[in-house]
Amino acid sequence: MTPRAKYTAEIAEVAKWYGVPVWAVISPEKTRTVVKARRAAAWMLRFKYGFSHERIGRIMGGKDHSTIIFAIGMHMIAAGLDGPERRYAERKAGLAARRAA
């Protein structure tokens, strides 16, 4: 199995877990479940495969790298994980100020 086939199969597995079609994960669709699946898939590509934010953006349908950083960070917040992407997402979403107050 080629590396591309491996990560594509894993994106499909994440999509299945969330009950959404694979095409939706890499589309511009913004329903809540699709966004959660997309964030989880981006996190998996970053931390399992070590892909750059830019590469993940290309895989996810041409999204900007900053969108991917935010998506990974929001997934990390939801999962209770820590890392630089989480801190970025907290700053962008205004969560750091609320949490400190």
Q: Which helix (H) or strand (E) element contains residue 99?
A: helix 95-100
Q: What is the pLDDT of residues 13-71, one digit of tens each?
A: 999 999 999 999 999 999 999 999 999 999 999 999 999 999 999 999 999 999 999 99
Widest CA span in the chain: 50
Q: CB of 39 within 8 A of CB of 68?
A: no
Express each pLDDT in 75-84 by its tens digit. Answer: 999 999 998 8
For 3-100, the fitting CATH number among 3.30.70.1450, 3.50.50.60, 3.40.50.300, 1.10.1750.10 is: 1.10.1750.10
